[in-house]
Amino acid sequence: MKKMLMVLAAGLVLAAQSVYAGSACGSPCKADKSEKAEVKAQTTCPVMGGKVSKSTYVDHDGKRVYLCCSGCVAKFKEDADKYVREMEDKGIELEKVPAAE
């Protein structure tokens, strides 16, 4: 009986170690929040949700935002910060405005 308890205790210790293995802090930590979500390219218009046209865009705060049509330009400009924030919150990485040549 004593031998069985020792084996069971050793098994529990090994199981506990495997749960905590890979954790730098020695306890089960949540995912590091500094890690970014998967980065995605912009494929949809932030105003209407349609497929973007690479020929229709607005440069805002050093970032290029593509839109689906010229009709979305004015609506985007009304609250550009809101649209940019919404896209970035979804993990969409906006292109940087190309340097002037």
pLDDT tens string 36-73: 557 899 999 999 999 999 999 999 999 999 999 999 99
Overall average pLDDT of the 7-14 stretch = 59
Chain segment 77-98, per-residue pLDDT in tens: 999 999 999 999 999 999 999 9
Per-residue pLDDT, 34: 47
Q: What sign does the dihedral 16-36-47-55 (CA atoms) show?
A: negative
Kindly report, residue by residue over 17-29, the tens digit of the pLDDT: 655 555 455 555 5
Element (H, E) at 6: helix 2-20
Do residues 84 and 61 make contact, with C-beta atoms less than 8 angstroms apart?
yes
6 has a pLDDT exceeding 50: yes
